[in-house]
Homo-oligomer: A and B are copies of this chain.
Amino acid sequence: MRATVIHGERDVRLEEVPDPELSTGGDAIVKVVAACVCGSDLWPYRGVTPTASPSRIGHEFIGIVESVGPDVVTIKPGDFVIAPFYDCDMTCANCLNGVSPSCLHGGWWGRDDRLGGFADGAQGERVRVPHADGSLVATPGQPADDLIPSLLTLADVMGTGHHAAVSAGVTVGSTVVVVGDGAVGLCAVLAAKRLGASRIVAMSRHAARQEVAREFGATDIVEERGADGIARIKELFDGIGPDCVLECVGTTESMDQALRSVRPGGTVGYVGVPSGGAELPIGFMFGNNIGANGGVAPVRNYIDELLPEVLSGAINPGRVFDLELPLAEVAEAYAAMDERRAIKVLLRP
């Protein structure tokens, strides 16, 4: 089959690789219907994290089950399934606590660190899923094609934006600021709106992203950053700041923006993969009672709650995809994301 392999900085290629095979008894082979490029895929693409040797890449996919191992109970060949951006069994103590990325038996796509050896990356034609009954969620019947983008967001960005909002404690009437206008930040706006936030500020200086943010429920846009951005946010919220800030980038600057914008006693929900090197300033947080909650989003746990709203059309997070390409053009997909020509690119094998 064909799958995406990253060789180094700005060098991703679609290559011929071995077909995956059932191996653990509990696994499934899924034929990918749609995959995409994640903001975090840009770290190795840009060389920020080094690529020691050529490796598979991509962690978001939806598809149709082709075959299952003898121990698989709920998932069947022919099912249309959503996979979270990691593998998990949904039976261990951490999964049952709602923290499936910390599954005691799970792992990550494109690696060989789990039961049954290597599992494929998502930007390819097929993926072996080790814990099929745990990781995969089947839709009721085959979804209409126009639902594909929104269903694909449940693999990562919509669940991750939702995690930012849940971690920050967004509830009915909350005032919210979202730092980051990538797909996750935009989904965080939608998640905050869905949870009942009364006012939602999107921090963005990009017209197309501002437009999506407004469609998703943003009531205000702030273009300033750094000290000017903090001053503008404080001014919008009684001089003290909002109840919740959703940090959806992961740099030192964006986390600083988040921590210094929220009001005393407020909470930063953070889902941007930490990439800046700075730790959290405990003295500042202690003095102002600012909480920090978040991490690797348990999107598998969230699918049960979010899927019905995607299927009914109540939410349309797939709006974050503004470019669709065939898998053969995966290199162009990365370039478009890297150069911010696209918010998020959907790939069809």
Contacts and interface: CB of A to CB of B under 8 A. Distances in A.
A265 interface: yes
Contact of A270 (B286, B294, B295): B286
Given A98-B265, A240-B94, A291-B167, A286 B296 contact: yes
A147 B100 CA distance: 48
A286 to B, nearest CB: 4
A281 B292 CA distance: 11
Interface residues of A, number: 39
Nearest to A297: B289
B294 A264 contact: no
Contacts of A94: 240, 263-265
A339 interface: no
A94 B255 CA distance: 22
A280 interface: yes
Given A93-B240, A289-B298, A102 B282 contact: no
B289 A101 contact: yes
A126 to B, nearest CB: 29
A49 interface: no
Contact of A99 (B104, B264, B270): B264
A346 to B, nearest CB: 27
B289 A291 contact: no
A224 B94 CA distance: 25
- Nearest 10 pairs of A and B residues by beta carbon: A279-B279, A99-B265, A291-B293, A289-B295, A102-B264, A280-B280, A286-B295, A99-B264, A274-B282, A94-B264
